[in-house]
Amino acid sequence: MVRTPLTPEERARGERFGALLRAARGDRSMVEVAVAAGISAETLRKIETGRAPTPAFFTIAALAAALGLSLDELASACAEAEVSASAA
């Protein structure tokens, strides 16, 4: 199966999502958060750096729970940035 290339907007959204996770993680280690979310530290690293810009829903949900964020907070943070970018 061939994966469709990501659009520039999808890549930018992935980078914003990664930055949001890094900020929410604060001084907690990447390993600590990854273990709490039930994912590998490498997976979290890829998401935070934007190398995995479209993580699975259950990965996002697990990270939100581990970081004490709601899915609504994550969605609105990414959507607000998209609206701001399209208005510019």
Domains in the chain, start-ordered, CATH in brackets?
8-87 (1.10.260.40)
pLDDT at 18: 92
The string of pLDDT tens digits covering residues 59-80 is: 999 999 999 999 998 888 877 6
Q: CB–CB of 10/54 below 8 Å?
A: yes
H/E segment holding residue 30: helix 30-37
Q: Can you give the pLDDT at residue 80?
A: 62
Angstrom distance (rounded) from CA 71 to CA 61: 7
Query: Which pTM was predicted?
Result: 0.82
